Structure 1
Amino acid sequence: MELQLNVLDNGLDFINKCLYELEDSTDHAPSIKYAVLHLNAGIELIFKARLSNDHWAFVFEDLNKAKYDSYIEGDFKSINLDTALSRLQHICKISISEQFISSIDRLKKTRNRIEHFQINENHYQLRAIIYDSLSYIVPFINREFPKIYGNSTFNEISKLLHSQENYLCERYKRIKNELTSNHSFKIDCPQCNQEHTLDVDEEICIFCNYGGNLAINDFIYKYADLDKEAGTFTYKEFDSLKYCPFCHNESLIISSSEEYCKCLTCKTQFEKEKFLECEYCKQVDILIDEDTGENGEIIESGYYCYHCLMGD
């Protein structure tokens, strides 16, 4: 039986192992030591995987000695954590905050004491260091590996983390200012299930960094009742899903309690009373004056598009 893991999967496996050791550490103190070691190893591998996405040679300590055959065989001296961070920032031009760097540095120094000398740390301090680093590396993975959501190990990591109160608290501490200072329209994230963290205008979850059209589509799929008639949608005060009269995508959600509609694709928001739908063909339109839409008119019993009116 062979063990085959690429660099990314290898890193994820180490992080996953760290989380299980965190659970065990409440009853078995030495487990916290291995949680630190495995998290540090996992983060280093994640950084190397991201560097390799830009070019395989970036993981060689000496770029002048980079050979593809050596890379494939794994027979070379690779970069350390500090060099990986530097190359991510200065070669790949990836934004990494000073807080993220400081967090990784604390983890690295703790790991060095454990592996190369001795350890005399408070159990709760070690857990705090671990959760602090996790609160940065998991969103980094979400952001830098867009196809990660089909990865079973990563999904297991997310599930484990989102059930742990310490991680949630640490992560919310990191994003508090961003959540409160940003007043854009936010919905629940379909990936991490945190409430009001998916910024629709920016198409990014502030909590987990899940984003893009995939996040919006997943949200719609999650709350649209596909077993019922078209347009059936249940999410908080929103109870209808319609085609948008501006971008023509089926992504316009209509509030039952507030007087507005919001398109999750083109981001247009307008008064609910201006939304028109043909009584016959269900073509959508926008009210431009008292009884006229751009492509139809309101006649006694309701709105009718010109195509249906001329057909009659």
Structure 2
Amino acid sequence: MKYGLLENGIDSLKQAYTCIEKLEAGLHEGVEHNLKDAILSLNHAIEILFKMILKNEKEYLIFSDIGKYMAAKNQMIKQGKQNVFEVGHDLKTVSLTEGVKRLELLCDLTIPDILKGAIDDFNKTRNKLMHFELELSEDEVNLTIRNLKGFYEEAVSFLGQHVENIEELLDKARFEYSDEDYQDEMYDHYEEMMYEEYREMMLERE
């Protein structure tokens, strides 16, 4: 199993979409956890996928302390390791805010102001959820849901310029194939095979 930055980010992006869909449906139950999951997942997705774009440019750009990264990279090569985290246990990657700056200033990417504003606003909301508490009135909840949808759409629009086939990846993300689904498909497969064998037999008799 490989769970790289792309897989990780797309998984969180799909989770955010699923939660936003539920919130837009106007369900009376589960608003709190769906709102929380949507905010955390969307924030996480953008942070991870921004890091992926940075890494694709130059791997060292995702690390907050480039000196520590260089030391870890040196040890990785000497020890024949595959990943700098195998030797650099104190390495830290950049925050979402820093990631935005590096994409613009070091990679010459233009991030739309509306997306940067949403990232800043929802990063503050995410920090309240992660480190303290969040209290919203009913009107504020409804506004947050609308803003989340806009945030998601802006994020996908921007990421689509840097992540190939993002819509297809989102469609496939979090797809779960149960034993029952497998058995049904195999039943249909064998039924079709038997039909084809019978048809060929009948054609041979003619």
TM bin (shorter chain)? 0.5 to 0.7
TM-aligned CA deviation for residue 126 of structure 1:
2.0
Q: In structure 2, do the counterparts of structure 1 residues 84 and 94 end up closer, same or farther at CA, with 3 Å as the change threshold?
A: same
Q: Secondary structure at the match of 2:160?
A: helix
Residue of structure 1 aligned with 2:158, choices 132, 136, 140:
140
1:98-109 to 2 correspondences below 5 Å: 98-109=113-124
Task: Tell me which residue corresponds to 1:119.
Answer: 134
Q: Which amino acid aligns with 2:31?
A: A
TM-aligned CA deviation for residue 154 of structure 1:
2.4
What's the % identity of the aligned pairs? 24
User: Does the aligned pair in 1 maintain the 2:47–2:96 contact within 8 Å?
Assistant: yes
Q: Higher helix share goes to which structure?
A: 2
Distance in 2 between the 1:87 and 1:13 partners? 24
Distance in 1 between the 2:65 and 2:144 partners? 34
Structure showing greater relative contact order (alpha-carbon pairs closer than 8 Å, 6 or more residues apart): 2
Q: Which amino acid aligns with 2:21?
A: E
TM-aligned CA deviation for residue 79 of structure 1:
0.4
Q: How many residues align?
A: 153
Taking only aligned residues, the RMSD between alpha carbons, in angstroms, comes to: 2.1
TM-score norm. by structure 1 comes to: 0.45
TM-aligned CA deviation for residue 98 of structure 1:
2.1
Determine whether 1:62 maps to 2:51: no
Q: Which amino acid aligns with 2:171?
A: N
User: Does the aligned pair in 2 maintain the 1:56–1:71 contact within 8 Å?
Assistant: no
User: Does the aligned pair in 2 maintain the 1:60–1:77 contact within 8 Å?
Assistant: yes
Task: Tell me which residue corresponds to 2:149.
Answer: 131
Ranges in structure 1 where 5+ consecutive residues have no aligned partner:
158-312
User: Does the aligned pair in 2 maintain the 1:14–1:38 contact within 8 Å?
Assistant: yes
Q: Which amino acid aligns with 2:151?
A: S
Distance in 1 between the 2:37 and 2:165 partners? 25
Task: Tell me which residue corresponds to 1:51.
Answer: 54
Ranges in structure 2 where 5+ consecutive residues have no aligned partner:
77-82, 174-206
Q: Secondary structure at the match of 2:161?
A: helix
User: Does the aligned pair in 2 maintain the 1:107–1:129 contact within 8 Å?
Assistant: no
- Please tell me whether Structure 1 or Structure 2 has the larger radius of gyration of its CA atoms: 1
Determine whether 1:155 maps to 2:157: no
1:1-312 to 2 correspondences below 5 Å: 2=1, 4-25=2-23, 26=27, 27-30=29-32, 31-66=34-69, 67-68=72-73, 69=76, 71=84, 73=86, 75=89, 76-121=91-136, 122-145=140-163, 147-149=164-166, 152-156=168-172
TM-aligned CA deviation for residue 141 of structure 1:
1.5
Q: Which amino acid aligns with 1:21?
A: C
Q: Which amino acid aligns with 2:170?
A: F
Q: Which amino acid aligns with 1:55?
A: K
Q: In structure 2, do the counterparts of structure 1 residues 152 and 71 end up closer, same or farther at CA, with 3 Å as the change threshold?
A: farther
User: Does the aligned pair in 2 maintain the 1:40–1:111 contact within 8 Å?
Assistant: yes
Q: In structure 2, do the counterparts of structure 1 residues 54 and 14 end up closer, same or farther at CA, with 3 Å as the change threshold?
A: same
Q: Higher strand share goes to which structure?
A: 1
Q: Secondary structure at the match of 2:145?
A: helix
